[in-house]
Amino acid sequence: MSATPDRKPRLSPGEIRARKGAEPVVVLTAYTTPMAQLVDASCDVVLVGDSVGMVLHGLPSTLGVTMEMMIMHGQAVARGLERACLVIDMPFGSYEESPQQAFRNAARLMVETGAQAVKLEGGQHMAETVRFLVQRGIPVMGHVGLTPQSVNTLGGYKVQGRGADGERVLKDAVAVAEAGAFSVVLEKLPADLGARITREIAVPTIGIGAGLDCDGQVLVIDDVLGIFTGFRPKFVKRYAELGQISAEAIAAYADDVRARRFPGPEHLFASELAPKPEGKA
């Protein structure tokens, strides 16, 4: 008999897939153990996004993120999760060359972090890779629409799928879903296109700037909490302004140090050699 009580396993990609058309799927990013512990109770999926490069490492885009960075942050997040399904982004250059390259790197991510799935960007041209991975036991979350790793070919972080371009994005989503992805992220699309794709594919859509009709939503946790001070996309809703609160707290600490108000008497340790007060035994 186990010396510790059995712990319920984290939500699986199969359970997320089964949520199609049911209760919306809640997804947030996390990059550290403390943040993973905070989001775990409320989220169905926790994504270790390659956005970590911009949010925590100060990179200008996600293109400089490496496998080693994703593994390090994936391991940190895994330590903080009990309930949510853990998905890790495959970084740029780790899967585009061939399905075989993608399998080697996806397998490494899963083995070294304990993740239950990987996410990769791309539509019709990546369907063969998605199928190759799924057939070999690696669950895949797809990502179509605005794909940040392709920012140089897309000409910036522009809305995708407007006008006739909507058919391309729809075909991308259909191809990835039919290849075996258990869910598909739709990024920065007109809301009516997000709704149409959600109706036409058999797996959950996870929207980020793709409208209310998606089967779930994802945001970057630092955007939600108001910590990230970089570009703020239109689709972000801030639920707190922790960046401002933190800046004020740091300034107050600095003022106390300079004015010699900190540390105060309550923060000090008495010497063991101090004489005992008179009258005390």
Catalytic residue (choose from 178, 187, 200, 241): 187
Three-state DSSP at 239 gives: coil
Between the CA atoms of 169, 170, 175 and 178, what dihedral angle is there, to the nearest 10 degrees?
150
Three-state DSSP at 72 gives: helix
Question: Which amino acids are annotated as binding site, given as ranges?
Answer: 50-51, 89, 119, 121
Which H or E run includes 180? none
Structure tokens at 84: 């949510």
Question: Which amino acids are annotated as binding site for Mg(2+), given as ranges?
Answer: 50, 89, 121
Beta-strand ranges (E) seen in 69-156 are: 85-89, 117-119, 140-145
Structure tokens at 265: 């008497």
Told to judge if 241 belongs to the known catalytic residues of this protein, a careful annotator would answer no
Phi, psi of 65 (to 5 degrees): -75, 140
Q: Which residues contact 50 (CB under 8 A, 6 or more apart)?
A: 62, 65, 70, 89, 91, 92, 148, 149
Q: Do you find a cis peptide bond into 263, omega within 30 degrees of 0?
A: yes
Between the CA atoms of 52, 106, 68 and 10, what dihedral angle is there, to the nearest 10 degrees?
60
Dihedral sign, Cα of residue 251, residue 254, residue 260, residue 265: positive
Question: Which amino acids are annotated as binding site for 3-methyl-2-oxobutanoate, given as ranges?
Answer: 50-51, 89, 119
b/e sequence 127-141, b meaning 16+ C-beta within 10 Å? bebbbbbbeeebbbb
**Cα(87)–Cα(119) distance, integer angstroms:** 7
Residue with tokens 């939500």: 11
| Catalytic site positions | 187
